[in-house]
Amino acid sequence: MLTGSKTTFKVRQMLPDIKERMLSQSGVNSRSRDVFGLRCLPGECVLQRAVMVRKKLTAREGRGWLSGTLFCTHFRVAFVPQDGPKPDDNADPVLLGDHDVALASIEKVVVVGPNRTKLVTSNSSLKFTPEELVLYCRDLRVVCFLFDRLTPDTQVLEITYTIAKTYQPPKPGSVLSFQNAALGSVEMKQFLSNRRRDTHMNWHESSSDWEQELERCGATGWRVSSVNDRFEMSTSLPRYIVVPQKVLDTELKKSFAHFNEGRIPRWCWRHPRGCDLLRMASFQNNIYHEKDDIRNLETILFGCQASLCVVVELGEELPSPADVQLAHSRLRALCLGDISTSVSVPDDKWLSTLEGTHWLDYTRSCLKKASEVACLLRGGHLTVALQEPDDRDLSCVVSSLVQVMCDPHCRTQHGFQSLVQKEWVMAGHRFNSRLNYHRDNDKEEAPVFLLFLDCVWQLLSQYPARFQLTDDFLLALHDSVHLPLFSSFLANCQRERCKRSQSLGQSYTPVNGWRDMLHPDFSPDPSDPPLPPVWDWALQYSKRRRDRFTQPVAPVPPLQPLLNGNLNTNPDTHRLTDTLPGSVFLFSRGAFSCPANLVPWRSSGGSGVYRKSHRRAASSESVPGLERLLKAWALSEFPQGLTSTVGTQGPLDTYEPLLPLLMGPCMGFWRECYLRGALHAQAFSHPISANHPHPVERLAREVQQLKDKLAQASQTDPHLGAKTAEPRWSDTNLNQNTNNGTFLFPAQRPHGTAAPRAAPPPTSTNRQTSRGPPPASAPPSRPSYKDNGGGNKHTFLFGHSSATEARPEKRCYPTPSNAKLPKSNGPSIAS
Amino acid sequence: MASPISIYHSNPLDTHLSSTSRESLKMELLADVSLLPGEDRIIDKDIIYICPFNGAVKGKVLITNYRLYFKSYEADVILDVPLGVISRVEKMGGASSRGENAYGLDITCKDMRNLRFALKQEGHSRRDIFDFLFRHAFPLSHGLPLFAYVTQEKYEENGWNVYNPLEEFRRQALPNNKWRLTFINNTYELCDTYPTVLAVPVKSSEDDLRRVAAFRSRGRIPVLSWIHRENQAVIVRCSQPLVGMSGKRNKDDERYLDLIREANDTTKLTIFDARPSVNAVANKATGGGYEGDEYQTAELIFLDIQNIHVMRESLKKLKDIVYPNVEESHWLSSLESTHWLEHIKLVLSGAIQVADKVSSGNSVVVHCSDGWDRTAQLTSLAMLMLDSHYRTLRGFQVLVEKEWISFGHKFASRIGHGDKNHADQDRSPVFLQFIDCVWQMTKQFPTAFEFNERLLLTILDHLYSCRFGTFLYNCESARDSNELRLKTVSLWSLVNSKMDMYLNPFYTPESGRVLYPVASMRHLELWVTYYIRWNPRIRQQVGPQQSPVEQRYKELLALRDEYLKKLEELQRPDSSPSSRLAHSPSSNTSSSSSSTPLQQYTHLHTPL
């Protein structure tokens, strides 16, 4: 494999290099996995290394350079900084270090010489010694290494050739060898099979998972059906689906034939106001409908509302997967520039070229559709069914966006993971085809999931304070999509995933039947690496980076209100229920209609088939009621949470959807993701870096530490047991008073397990405490308050001064001296 | 967002007024307008405001010698427009015009909006209001004083003391053995658009300065603006040399520039000519030009920044796509075609080049044609990048006072204060462009500036309002002769008596760090909260509301204090549990009202 360099270099120079390589091989064989400072995975061999290399750091990493050693293994290009922390031999293996690039995510290898740039492939030979090695990655990263003058020329050439030969050019079959390089060793398999699943999230795999979700949403009237347990009803649906309680499995079985791929209407989520969100494929119109079938169909469709169903057609206004693919490839080309010639779009044409990709248009149309659905659901008393011909692409986007907008739980890391698991992985989004890992099906390729991530990022950037997850998390997910290692993405549906876990190597040859369906994670063939789910973040990211996936002191989703019947307070919708019993409307292009052919049985079944449709034919007269719901959306595009005038209206509903502003100037561009590769834009140092976190982040960490300390202190102080509940008290109070809880950061996670504390007092007590006059024991507190106020300059600014001491001018903003960032108060607290 | 459902009303949150309170409002609709001391009511009458977002709104308008105030009967639409903002008032429709609301007034504002009012056609009802508006919006055209000379406002601090040239020179450790201060311009004899105190090379005599002045356009000789504390490299500003068609030379000017180079002992002096080279050449025809090869120890770099006319047209195009309606279908390409961000980029990248040269130890000379537009942009931005002092709230005021006001940026001509001639070719948004560049920097370095976006918005609002003397007149000599500092109030009086409103809570001082923003279209953004702020759909992040990040920061601070206090109490055995109970409620009552004191300040930002 060194043929390329032999022509240009003397054998004498190569000798030490070969010795090194042998060294590294022997290093692998020994128990120590530490080879030249690189901590290898079990079974990983270092193919080549180069010393005295500098890695160019991105803006996020703090910019500038980092010197160290560059390695190439069968699995990755690794970079070990000179002064980095010593690897801990006892720690669990991490697939990729902070500076590593998996070979499979490399798209192109380019070297820069004294006055030229060359694309290196497995059979190129270089006539010059590169000064710079640039790896263009599929995830839009561009990783750049600079060879120092002290780097031996041989090493430079060798490592370049090695990387060029071993990185996986897109071809069928390369994925498996990559997986084996990463996970194939006996030790690694052992390690993976002992991994515990994250129990904080809902995997939506078992029937109890679904029941838990039904309970979480307060969705009564639904049940989990195992009618598709053996994937006989629908190959692409999961084993368990949620259907109305009143429909029996036998009745259900007759419905599958009426829908494309057997994807019948299934429950996804319930809005706290009692509306259910369903999704389904399009109707199969060529099938004869029997009366009973029709009744079953309607029962399924109306779910528990039995009054009004709005079918939201997703085909027309949203991009097709092919559109998404085209837009994404244009976006990639725009952001990375022409790799071989290093020519990028001129700056003065940047905006129009960006517009020309249509990527932002598509993001916007998905968000718009999701906003409309969210508003319909908010109205109450109806069922919304998302309908897409095959129900496997944009309905995943819209249904999950609706939940991100409406359900604070979905804005936490675990909630979001559960959501992706529910609406994408289990619902049968064809990840494997859409991501085209095997490069065998270019026609199907469409990064629909990446479009979804962009939409979530738009919401996050407009409502940063309403998310517990961060853009670091979204970025990690974005990058993981490009690694063909995860069971979550390497199959098109649950059925395939089960099959694959049995015989990975043959996933592309049809297998007749499969064994041991009940234990999908059990792998009978020990030679296939078990694939981990993407959610096992510890495999990929160090603790330090995982910590950045969530906000340090997170905005906590408020406790789920206890639903006792329908919590509908919207007067409009009562009228809706009165006027529109059993009607089905189509919602398309922002308007409601009731076309005769919307539901096949309405036209074919004739009149009087079903009581409800017979009783009152749905007419467009009833449409204004629905349109009012959407008008509410247009109104609510005004700042809801930010306006201070909401004061008189009482606490803001925490389930008010986060409706994004969708005007052109309000759509953001995810620079941190797409422009990571634009090296020219990173020429200068930036004061904010990993080492200098944003003051908010610093403060948040400080608060977190204080909280921990407080929890600790109160634990060691038994007679103050009641005090542990106090942080929560104040949180609740904050909740009520600060802008009606819109941008609220109560500090405690509701299911936080770490901080031990007493049960919170009932809410009503809180209110009394916060609103009522100070208790009789108030006077003694005064002196202590004043002491604190003197010792801590910030105290009086944020409302610790009582109303009696009102100093209106000083209340709201820090005075100059106080606006400076707080220095760490750690030591003083400890004393 | 051309959606069929995008019907919207005014802020729905304001519609909670009960009908009875509405009635009483109608009675004394304008009674609650708080006027400034010295502000007089002139006329009020019923009028219809044709709001581009809400349609026609009936209400009452009040005109004073300072403002136009409109309040609707119903939907709680309020307009509070200082008359100084008005650039043009026109009558719309005639007595015989047909159609609803066809007869009235059309007002063009300098701050990216237009206002239309409709009146009843009977009895020439608009004649008096038009006349009053016209008189008081353009007082200088009618022999009236600007409002800044009328107002009786008093503030604790006198903002005129913010900038003292000698003090600022002292801060920069000037004079020193290379640079001296000269009072040659004490009576504005040398140059009537320069300040009185100038810093020049020690080796140059007063006679040298006079001879150089003869060779520089309008006598604006090269003088020191800023000196690097460590490497002694300087930023020198001036106007173009009067080379002319014949290619005149001036030995004194050449020698003078060489003295500047010599002062910090580098081989080359870099001259940045802000103009595109073609424009520099074209200026020869009118007697100007640029430094040629005869300046042997200098290198000349053109920065390709367009002139005031190009900038004016660019802003006009920008207004067309954002007001009243935001161009939706092709937003990005429309934005690109205005070239506004492109100009911002060129100004910023020019300043980056200046800052980069200086921080690597090379002295630079910056000029354009007259040295009061593009030159001011470049030097002030470069200084903002180089010197962290200017990134503080007071430092920024000094920067504006020094580089813009004292060095004779022609605010009066560029803004047209109190002048009815709206089509004046001298008007141009040069200063706005500078503030936009500053905003871009604050976006890219969110912790590097002590002041916040609100300060920038306030500065821009009062750039036009004529309430303060700060931005009036073209140069110091005119200010002196009009006794500006004696008779008017400085904008900094207002700012510095309410400082906490303008502070960035995230400010982390890092003295000595040079900031280089990324000047690429990929990273520049349109300043939506300024240019599109009249659109009710743009979330107002200024005014009483804060950005979510700011809000979060404050809540964290509150939490931190709370925890700290509790920890302390936990560690103090004698404290009784009840004493802590008293804190929580009190803390909350005040935090809930924390936004109220700010509201009185929002009238300039209020959305429609």
DSSP for A63-106?
Answer: SEEEEEEEEEESSEEEEEETTPPPP-TTSPP-SS-TT-EEGGGE
Cα angle at B411 between B407 and B413, to 5 degrees?
A: 120
A17 or B39, which is more confident: B39
Token representation of residue A264? 């019948």
Chain B CB contacts of A700 under 8 Å are 556
Token duo for residue B156: 């604790």
Q: Which one, of A195, A140, A504, lies nearest residue A339 by Cα?
A: A140
Taking contacts as CB-CB distances below 8 angstroms, the residues of chain B near A810 are 500
CB pairs under 8 A between A and B: 377
A813 contacts B507? CB cut-off 8 A? no
Report the first-to-last Cα separation within chain B, whole angstroms: 20
B368 is catalytic: yes
Q: Which residues contact A352 (CB under 8 A, 6 or more apart)?
A: B332, B333, B336, B337
Is the Cβ pair B333, A355 closer than 8 Å?
A: yes
| Inter-chain touch A743–B555, beta carbons under 8 Å | yes
Please give the sequence-ordered ranges of beta strands (E in DSSP) within B338-438, or none if there are none: 364-367
**Partner-chain contact A737 B588, CB within 8 Å:** yes
* Minimal-distance CA residue of chain A relative to B328: A664
**Terminus-to-terminus CA distance in chain A, angstroms?**
64
**CA–CA gap between residue B381 and residue B390 (Å, rounded):** 10
Residues B590, A671: C-beta atoms closer than 8 Å: no
Banded pLDDT at B77 (limits 50, 70, 90) = confident
Q: Do A706 and B592 touch (CB under 8 A)?
A: no
* Local mean pLDDT, 10-residue blocks, chain A (831 residues): 36 40 43 65 87 82 81 91 73 83 89 86 86 90 87 90 81 79 85 87 94 93 93 94 91 89 93 90 77 77 73 90 95 79 79 95 95 86 90 96 94 96 96 89 92 97 87 94 92 87 43 38 53 92 87 56 38 42 72 67 41 37 58 45 31 69 90 76 40 71 82 65 36 32 34 39 38 38 37 31 33 31 34 32
Considering just the CA atoms, what is the radius of gyration of chain B in Å? 27
Task: State the DSSP code for B241.
Answer: B
- Six token digits for residue A207: 């029937």
Q: Three-state SS for B185?
A: coil
List the beta bridge partners of residue A147.
Answer: A53
| Residues near B54 by beta carbon (within 8 Å), at least 6 away in sequence | B9, B10, B75, B77, B608
CA distance B94 to chain A (A): 36
User: Tokens in use for B179?
Assistant: 């640079």
Query: Which pair of structure tokens corresponds to residue B562?
Result: 């709370």
CB nearest A646 (choices: B13, B565, B586)? B13
Among A675, A700, A709, the residue with its CB nearest the CB of B567 is: A709
Nearest to A786 by CA among B578, B583, B588: B583
Can you tell me the ipTM of this complex?
0.85
B447: left (phi over 0), alpha (psi -120 to 50) or beta: alpha
Q: Does B325 touch chain A (CB under 8 A)?
A: no
Residues of A in contact with B544 (CB under 8 A): 644
Which member of B332, B503, B575 has the closest CB to residue A819? B503
Residue pLDDT, tens place only, B95-116: 777 778 889 999 999 999 999 9
Give the distance from residue B333's alpha carbon to the nearest chain A alpha carbon, in angstroms. 4
Hey, is B140 helix, strand or coil? helix
Contacts of A682 in chain B (CB under 8 A): 518
CB contact under 8 A, A351 and B335: yes
Interface touch A727/B562, C-beta < 8 Å: yes
Helix, strand, or coil (residue B45): strand
pLDDT for A777: 39
Contact A695 B505 (CB under 8 A): yes
Task: Identify the residue among B54, B314, B332 best suited for mutation to test binding to A, counting A beta carbons within 10 A and taking the highest.
Answer: B332
Question: Tell me, what's the pLDDT at A195?
Answer: 86
What's phi and psi for A314, nearest 5 deg?
-100, -10
Q: Which of B51, B368, B437, B475 is catalytic?
A: B368
B281-300: burial string, b at 16+ Cβ within 10 Å, e else = eebbeeebbbbeeebeebeb
CA atoms within 13 A on the CB side of A489: 22
Contact B269, B258 (CB under 8 A): yes
Nearest-by-CA chain A residue for B584: A730
> Is A395 within 8 Å of A314 (Cβ atoms)?
yes
pTM to 2 decimal places: 0.81
- How many Å lie between the alpha carbon of A131 and the closest alpha carbon of chain B? 25
Enumerate residues 436 to 465 of chain B having a beta carbon within 8 A of any beta carbon in chain A. 444-448, 450
Closest CA to B424 of B144, B140, B114, B81: B140
B61 beta partners? B45, B70
Nearest to B500 by CA among A794, A699, A825, A700: A794
A658 interaction partners in chain B (CB closer than 8 Å): none
Which residues of B fall within a CB distance of 8 Å from A468?
A: none
Q: What is the pLDDT of residue A750?
A: 39
Distance, CA of A393 to CA of B347 (rounded, Å): 45
User: Across the interface, do A681 and B322 touch by the CB < 8 Å criterion?
Assistant: no
| Of the partner residues A355, A737, A821, the one whose CB lies closest to the CB of residue B592 | A737
Which of A134, A58, A44 lies closest to A96, judged by CA?
A44
CB contact under 8 A, B538 and A633: no
More confident: B506 or B457: B457
Q: Which carries the bigger pLDDT value, residue B122 or residue B77?
A: B77
Q: What is the mean pLDDT of chain B?
A: 87
> Could you report the per-residue pLDDT of B391-406, keeping only the tens digit for each?
999 999 999 999 999 9
- Minimal Cα distance from A824: which residue of B? B560
In this prediction, residues B537-552 reach a mean pLDDT of 59
Closest chain B residue by Cα to residue A688: B445
Residue B520 and residue A680 in contact, taking contact as beta carbons nearer than 8 Å: yes
A34-35 vs A132-137, strand pairing mode: unpaired
Q: Six-digit token pair at B170?
A: 């002292």
In a mutational test of the A interface, the residue from B16, B442, B510, B562 whose CB has the highest number of chain A CBs within 10 Å is B562
d(CA B134, CA B116) in angstroms, rounded, equals 15
Measure the CA–CA gap between B480 and B486, rounded to whole angstroms: 9
pLDDT of B84 strictly over 60: yes
**How far is Cα A780 from Cα A757, in angstroms, rounded to an integer?**
26
What sign for the dihedral angle of Cα B235, B236, B238, B242?
Answer: negative
